[in-house]
Amino acid sequence: MTEELIIRAARDIIRAKKVVALTGAGMSVESGIAPFRGEGGIWEKYDPEEYAYIDIVRTNPGKSWILLSEMQKEITKAQPNPGHISLAELERLGYLSSIITQNVDGLHHEAGNKNIIEFHGNHRWVVCMECGKRVKCTEISLEKLPPRCECQGVFKPDVIFFGEAIPYEALTKSNQEARSCEVMLVIGTSAVVQPAASMPGIAKSSGATIIEINIEETELTGYISDYLIKGKAGEVLPKIVNKIKNDAANLSV
Ligand code: OAD
Residue 66's closest CA among 147, 175, 179?
A: 147
Question: Quick one: CA dihedral 85, 91, 96, 101, positive or negative?
Answer: positive
Kindly report the protein residue whose alpha carbon is nearest to atom 25 of ligand 1: 189
101 contacts 117 by C-beta, under 8 angstroms: yes
Kindly report the protein residue whose alpha carbon is nearest to atom 26 of ligand 1: 24
Q: Given 138, 159, 180, which residue is the final one in a domain?
A: 159
Does residue 130 sit in the same domain as residue 231?
Answer: no
Q: Count the Cβ atoms, other than its own, within 10 Å of residue 166.
A: 17
Q: What atom in ligand 1 is closest to the CA of residue 102?
A: 33
Query: For residue 92, what pLDDT is reported?
Result: 98
Does residue 226 sit in the same domain as residue 198?
Answer: yes
Residue 214's closest CA among 204, 197, 225, 228?
A: 228
Running along the chain, 253 residues long, what does each successive block of 10 average in pLDDT? 93 97 98 94 95 96 96 97 98 98 98 98 97 97 96 97 96 98 98 97 98 97 97 98 85 50
Number of domains into which the chain is organized = 2
Does residue 188 sit in the same domain as residue 240?
Answer: yes
CATH number at residue 46: 3.30.1600.10
Q: Count the Cβ atoms, other than its own, within 10 Å of residue 198.
A: 15
CATH number at residue 103: 3.40.50.1220
Does residue 245 sit in the same domain as residue 205?
Answer: yes
Kindly report the protein residue whose alpha carbon is nearest to atom 2 of ligand 1: 36
Query: For residue 1, what pLDDT is reported?
Result: 66
Residues with CB under 6 A from ligand 1: 24-26, 29-30, 35-38, 41, 102, 120, 160, 188-190, 193, 213-216, 218, 232-233
Does residue 138 sit in the same domain as residue 225?
Answer: no
Q: What are the respective helix, strand and coil percentages of the chain, to the nearest 5?
A: 45, 20, 40
Does residue 112 sit in the same domain as residue 206?
Answer: yes
Does residue 252 sit in the same domain as residue 174?
Answer: yes
Q: 246 alpha carbon to ligand 1 midpoint, in Å?
A: 31
Query: For residue 248, what pLDDT is reported?
Result: 72
Kindly report the protein residue whose alpha carbon is nearest to atom 33 of ligand 1: 102
Does residue 87 sit in the same domain as residue 11?
Answer: yes
Does residue 103 sit in the same domain as residue 132?
Answer: no
Q: What atom in ligand 1 is closest to the CA of residue 104?
A: 33
Q: What atom in ligand 1 is closest to the CA of residue 41?
A: 2
Radius of gyration, alpha carbons of the chain: 19
Does residue 189 sit in the same domain as residue 103?
Answer: yes
Kindly report the protein residue whose alpha carbon is nearest to atom 15 of ligand 1: 26
Residue 108's closest CA among 123, 129, 128, 87?
A: 87
CA 210 to chain CA centroid, Å, is 16
Beta bridge partners of 210: 184
Longest dimension (CA), the chain: 63
Q: 103 alpha carbon to ligand 1 midpoint, in Å?
A: 9
Q: Which residues are designated catalytic?
A: 120
* Ligand 1 binding pocket mutation candidate from 23, 100, 213, 215 (most atoms within 8 A of CB): 215
Query: For residue 68, what pLDDT is reported?
Result: 97
Residue 100's closest CA among 29, 205, 172?
A: 172
Question: Domain limits at 148?
Answer: 37-77+125-159
Does residue 85 sit in the same domain as residue 68?
Answer: no
pTM of the model: 0.96
Query: For residue 124, what pLDDT is reported?
Result: 97
Does residue 137 sit in the same domain as residue 182?
Answer: no
Angle at 146 between CA 33 and CA 59, to 5 degrees: 105
Q: What atom in ligand 1 is closest to the CA of residue 83?
A: 19
